[in-house]
Amino acid sequence: MRRDGLEPLRDNDPAEIAGYVLEARIGEGGMGTVFLTRSPEGRPVALKLIRREHAQSENFRKRFAREVEAARRVHGRHVVPVLDHDADAERPWLATRYVPGLPLDEALAEHGPLPLASVLRLTAGAACALDVVHTAGVVHRDVKPANLLLTADGPWLLDFGIARAAGTATLTTIGRMVGTPKYMSPEHALGKKVTPASDVFTLGLVAAEAASGRHPYGEGGGLVVATRIAGTEHEPPDLGPFPAPLREVLAACLAARPEDRPAAADVARLCGNPGGRDAGDYRGWLPKPLAAAVAKVERSTGAKVDDPRSSGWLSRIRRNL
pLDDT tens profile 75-121: 888 998 889 999 999 999 999 999 989 999 999 999 999 999 999 99
Structure confidence at residue 107 (pLDDT): 96
Are residue 280 and residue 157 in the same domain, yes or no?
Answer: yes
Non-local CB neighbours of 242 within 8 Å, separated by 6+ positions: 208, 211, 212, 250
The model's pTM is: 0.84
Are residue 111 and residue 27 in the same domain, yes or no?
Answer: no
Give the residue numbers marked as catalytic.
Answer: 142
Give me the domain span that covers residue 49: 16-100+295-306
Using CA atoms, how far residue 70 sits from 29, 64, 98, in Å, is 21, 10, 19
Task: Return mean pLDDT, the chain.
Answer: 86
Q: What is the signed CA dihedral for 121, 122, 127, 129, rounded to 10 degrees? A: 110
Query: Among candidates 238, 274, 265, which has minimal Cα distance to 254?
Result: 238
Q: What's the total number of domains in the chain? A: 2
**Greater model confidence, 5 or 59:** 59
Domain holding 79: CATH number? 3.30.200.20
Are residue 200 and residue 265 in the same domain, yes or no?
Answer: yes
Task: Please count the helices (runs of H) and the strands (runs of E) in the chain.
Answer: 11, 12
CA 19, 99, 51, 55 torsion-angle sign:
negative
pLDDT tens profile 213-253: 999 999 999 999 999 999 999 999 999 999 999 999 999 99
Are residue 65 and residue 133 in the same domain, yes or no?
Answer: no
With beta carbons less than 8 A apart as the criterion, state whether 184 and 202 touch: yes
Structure confidence at residue 159 (pLDDT): 76
Are residue 112 and residue 28 in the same domain, yes or no?
Answer: no
Are residue 96 and residue 106 in the same domain, yes or no?
Answer: no
Domain annotation covers residue 73? yes
Structure confidence at residue 314 (pLDDT): 33
Query: Among candidates 301, 313, 314, which has minimal Cα distance to 101?
Result: 301
